[in-house]
Chains A and B, each alone.
Chain A
């Protein structure tokens, strides 16, 4: 090398952890193994990471998300909806809402997609062991909660009461209806309600808060000592449910919510999910309610 020549320094890509620069665009190639229509708007996609060792090494917590990429079409974040025990055999519940998801609704089994992740934080399920859990979902908010339900089923003896309070706009919009009996069989209380009933609907009508009120009334005044709540749904639902639980003395640190944002990187760089200087993709999407209360304009 002649004098004064600057040497080129390639990016050091040693290691595989989150601190390796190569992690930034590391994509697992996966194949869609089944597509199950849940409603007229939502499909359940089961996909399998193709490389067996990558598949085995893919572990996640309920509440974490992945970036799903279709080359040439786009990439978007989705919560994992399947059980963590299934590793790289993951399920995503996806609503047709934009160009990527509409394209996805037209592909068939065998389509190869890219997966980056798992990303973000999960629900602290182990911390909740030995307690009652309330899983409160609105609409598509059931998707991330289904991973928690699977966890609760797989570890049923570690929890006391497990109750799902789930509201949808119309009866036709309920997701995962084929699993309800199975959840009940595992001694999980399932309470569903609709806003707009049709002629065939025989269940309760109204908001999730109404059902929640009834459940809490049956639990006694000291319920908050041994209860955790997990809430996921549209922002307006968070506000009502969490403020109601706060009024009933459930500590804010024992309520967990999952925030929705349109991440482009999922790795704390693109700022699209930023609230203040908090990256929802790094510090979230799962937060306790106390933290959310202190994030301005989070919900």
Chain B
């Protein structure tokens, strides 16, 4: 692995060089919440001053740049007795993502397994994933974060460069030749012994800030055992089936397809919209039979997909522990509490 140290002023210069020739996306401050804490979102950034590299957490994950909430899959030119289908993957230039936290990088790595691998890789996602250069940055864990329990607190791959703030400088981990070429545009230095010490101190200080934990030992088996447990009903009674959890989840990828025709009847569209398995009609089939008609059954399904089914298929959870769902849930349902309640069932 290749390491460099970058003075903070030089990183600003790098941003400006990149932003002058590329679309750059990064964390920006969008306002304050009701308690006065700043709110952040990922957006296109042109000036370094607008970038908030020390951001806490965005409400909406980086997912929306890879799986947009609405996206046309195909456009049909309609003629009298015929039609012509045009497919576009909706990505025509490279993009640089400046400042992504490990949880969001790991979320993409887990999405890659479903959307890029196996049979039928999804070109809409691939086009965006392979044309996005990712510069990761370390974070300060918040009370909701439990990424450490989900083995998502550090990103090992799936990015081009990763930055850790060590005071005056950034400690940079370089994973791709694209990032290596970026660094040739600015002044960098080989890390000295002192930088290694500062890095290890920063990492240790970060580790101490994790307060929330989820015990995943034997979780697959326990979930199987507790499939009929009453706790699901209790959580289901609280759940509003609003789908907010999926909306803010960096790994929820399910979708619905909508067909529309324009007013002139000359163009039709096939549009994909991200959906949620907590919404009532998610598992409805023709003739209105619903395989998951009850709230607790749908809530349970979401947990089983993330923490059981995906683990069985890919040997890791589909949850990265970012805590966004628990923080945004209108009913106050959090993953650590749900899992703890299932584990403690007598």
Contacts and interface: CB of A to CB of B under 8 A. Distances in A.
Interface stretch (B50-58, B193-201, B304-312, B323-331): B304-312
B204 interface: no
B83 to A, nearest CB: 5
A106 to B, nearest CB: 15
A150 to B, nearest CB: 24
Interface in B286-319: 286-287, 289, 291-292, 297, 301, 304-305, 308-310, 312-313
Contacts of B309: 274, 276-278
B298 to A, nearest CB: 11
B256 A13 contact: no
B227 interface: yes
Contacts of B285: 260-262
Interface string A1-19: 0111111111101000011
Interface string A89-132: 00000010110010000000010101000000000000000000
Contacts of A3: 181, 184-185
B259 interface: yes
B85 A27 contact: yes
Interface residues of A, number: 55
A263 to B, nearest CB: 10
Interface in B68-89: 73-74, 76, 78, 81-83, 85, 87, 89
Interface string A223-267: 000000000001100000000000000000000000011101101
Interface in B263-295: 268-270, 275, 277, 282-287, 289, 291-292
A39 B56 CA distance: 62
Contact of B291 (A5, A73, A297): A297
A215 B115 CA distance: 47
B286 A270 contact: no
Interface in B224-264: 227, 253-257, 259-261
A110 B21 contact: no
B7 interface: no
Given A4-B21, A4-B184, A277-B308, A269 B94 contact: no
Contacts, number: 160
Contacts of A216: none
Contacts of B131: 6, 8-9
Which secondary structure dominates chain B's binding surface? mixed
Contacts of B92: 8
A66 B231 CA distance: 39
Contacts of A72: 76, 78, 259-261, 268-269
A23 interface: yes
Contact of B286 (A24, A95, A114): A95
Contacts of A74: 257, 259
Nearest to B132: A6
Given A262-B286, A272-B283, A71 B120 contact: no
A177 to B, nearest CB: 22
A210 interface: no
B137 interface: no
A101 to B, nearest CB: 7
A76 interface: yes
A296 interface: yes
Interface in A55-75: 69-75
Given A9-B131, A112-B83, A269-B114, A76 B182 contact: no
A268 B82 CA distance: 29
B151 interface: no
Most chain B CB atoms below 10 A, which of A23, A76, A268: A268
Given A11-B126, A27-B85, A71-B83, A269 B182 contact: no
A279 to B, nearest CB: 10
B93 interface: yes
B284 A262 contact: yes
Contacts of A262: 283-286
A270 B254 contact: yes
Contacts of A29: 85
Contacts of B261: 72
Contacts of B312: 276-277
Contacts of B185: 3-4
Nearest 8 CB-CB pairings of A with B? A277-B309, A72-B268, A271-B254, A21-B123, A267-B120, A72-B261, A71-B76, A276-B309
20 contacts: A3-B185, A4-B17, A4-B184, A6-B94, A13-B123, A22-B123, A24-B121, A25-B85, A70-B259, A71-B268, A98-B286, A234-B289, A261-B283, A262-B283, A267-B119, A268-B118, A269-B253, A270-B257, A276-B305, A276-B308
Given A6-B133, A267-B120, 11 more contacts: A10-B127, A19-B119, A21-B121, A29-B85, A73-B259, A76-B286, A234-B289, A235-B289, A272-B275, A276-B309, A297-B291
